[in-house]
Amino acid sequence: MKVIALKFENYRNLKDNIISPCDGVNIIYGDNAQGKTNLLESLWFFCGGHSFRGSKDSEVINWDRNFAKIEMRFFGQDREQTAKILFKGGKKTVEINGVQKNSAAALIERFCAVVFSPEHLSLIKRGPGERRKFIDSAICREKLKNAVVLSKYNRILNQRNSLLKDIYRRPSLEDTLSVWDEPLLKNGAVLVKKRIDYVKMLSDRAVKYHDGISKGKEELKIRYVSGCDITEDDSTDEIYEKLKTKLETHKSDDIRTGFTNYGPHRDDIEIIINGKNAKAFASQGQQRSAVLSLKLAEASVLRERMGEEPVILLDDVLSELDAKRQDFLLNELHGCQVFITCCEKSNKEQLRNGKIFLLNNGVVS
């Protein structure tokens, strides 16, 4: 997967322009608040029509304009392709290879990328919800049916929790709880199995990347943590039975508290550096290196599953990394197209082969 050209018009603070990146590492260099992250965001929109910042579509339109447009020419699926996204009137219109699509989701099947931004440090710094969201997002991007399973599980969970609150006030409703238990268990077992399989693949690759980033000085481990005594070797049927046992055992607790206390919605992914929990003991630089390793591993899994090398977008990734770790990202990510934003002059001077873009007040040169 390679971006051949990117064109933007009325997009945030970026001045209308067309850029042609190289196939390797591309550095977007400039002071803060010049538009570097905006440029990466425009590329990420082609992965499925959403901003990695969580921004509304209307926010990408330059403040004194009534529309914004981004266009990309790229090589993927063994051929050159084009994609366009128009933002206007609170809506976006997507066109792929000259054909208008009903939904921006059509972009997922055409272009793939992996993005790192400082916000992704929340994978370590915040609670289990952030890590579950990361894994669920990854497995849903791989297969649409995974997204269907996750959606069903969350919907059934909400309905069961709503019923639990009603049972507390009206005990006669307890007999209807089984209506939601069976589909919750079936979808939950499939979801956990998909997560565990993905974490195993992710861990194998993240360990290797982290070894390269840390120059062999640190050991990274990632494991799936379940409150239902589930192991990575369990089959879907075995996971189902363990979830069922936990649900039945804690039925009275669920009714008393008004929510489902155990299940996939309570699981976590533990990130360990040199035998210690990264959230509690790792430095800022170590945490950044660990999340980077996870994101690069995500790209590796995508490549294997989709048969395409995803584009890698790294926003403000070099700060708080020492020179050796920076060198790995700038000069040792071979075979894939990379976009890296940075502010420090010394960062861009470390690049041995690639292309450097200066971004000043929205102007790319």
* Burial of residue 70 (number of CB atoms within 10 Å: 0-12, 13-18, 19+): buried
Residues 246-271: tens digit of each pLDDT: 999 999 999 999 999 999 999 999 99
Residue % of the chain over a pLDDT of 90: 67
Please tell me which residue, 335 or 71, carries the higher pLDDT value: 71
Task: Tally Cβ neighbours within 10 Å of residue 31.
Answer: 10
Residues 45-58: tens digit of each pLDDT: 998 888 888 788 89
Structure tokens, 332: 């040792």
pLDDT of residue 323: 85
Mean residue pLDDT of the chain comes to 92
Residues 6+ apart with CB under 8 A from 168: 255, 256, 258
Binding site: residue ranges?
Answer: 30-37
Q: What is the mean pLDDT of residues 223-251?
A: 95
Residues 275-307: tens digit of each pLDDT: 999 988 988 889 989 999 999 999 998 888 778
Q: What is the mean pLDDT of residues 220-244?
A: 95
Residues 109-125: tens digit of each pLDDT: 789 899 988 888 888 98
Beta bridge partners of 340: 27, 314
- Cα–Cα dist 128/135, whole Å: 11
Binding site for ATP: residue ranges?
Answer: 30-37
The contacts found for 238-245 with CB under 8 angstroms, 24 or more apart, are 239/188, 239/189, 239/192, 239/193, 240/185, 240/186, 240/188, 240/189, 243/185, 243/188, 243/189, 243/192, 244/185
Structure tokens, 90: 């609170």
How open is the CA angle 267-52-190, to the nearest 5 degrees? 30
In the chain, the domains with their CATH numbers are 2-112+308-364 (3.40.50.300), 124-279 (1.20.1050.90)
Beta bridge partners of 6: 19, 72
- Cα–Cα dist 34/359, whole Å: 6
The CA-atom distances, in angstroms, between 181 and each of 191, 259, 362 are 15, 13, 54
pLDDT of residue 107: 87
- Cα–Cα dist 349/311, whole Å: 22
Residues 320-359: tens digit of each pLDDT: 788 888 888 888 888 899 999 988 766 778 888 999 999 9
Q: Phi and psi of 341, rounded to 5°?
A: -95, 145
**pLDDT above 80: residue 183:** yes
